[in-house]
Amino acid sequence: MATKPMKLRCKITLEDNHTFTAHSKMFDGTPFKLLVSEYDFKLNGEFLPSKRTVDGWVYVHQESQQHDRVYITLPKATIEHGYHLVVSQFDLMPRQASIEDFKPKEVEALKVSMGMPEVVKSKTKKKKKPVEQQEVVHSEESIEMLVETNTDMDEEL
């Protein structure tokens, strides 16, 4: 089975010796941490002198999944758990996806980006048919009355 490249939600800490530590949790809530290189993660913000821990994503590989539990391979081994862990699917995201993909977008801007005309109405109104062309639905009683009326008129003629 092929692995899927994914991102695991975590917090990245810039240590005093200029190394990076990723902090996350396993499926059962047990926290773990691992040392990562600058190529093993993506930050959601920037490190500041007063902010040494930032939300981010560690690049992992999804090996398998059962319900909401996912078996992953980490980029580096943890001391306590090694390279492989089980995490919640809700802490993972496809590697090429970003948070921006999940934010609401303007329909018009999306249509333009897809090559559609710039002015597109989101709702089209249905033209009403003239009264004589409209389909009339009758109940059985009204049909019987029409037949009786037509029969009475035929007899009069």
At 92-121, the pLDDT tens digits run 999 888 767 766 766 555 555 555 555 544
Share above pLDDT 70 across residues of the chain, in percent, rounded to a whole number = 64
d(CA 27, CA 61): 16
d(CA 6, CA 4): 6
- Total count of domains within the chain: 1
d(CA 29, CA 127): 58
* Residue range of the domain that includes 95: 4-102
The region of weakest confidence among 52-61, 64-73, 88-97, 114-123 is 114-123
Average pLDDT of the segment spanning 4-28? 95
Give domain status of residue 56, yes or no. Answer: yes
Confidence (pTM): 0.63
Give domain status of residue 53, yes or no. Answer: yes
Q: Is 120 helix (H, G, I), strand (E, B) or coil?
A: coil
Residue 122 has pLDDT above 50, yes or no: no
| Cβ–Cβ < 8 Å for 85, 95 | no
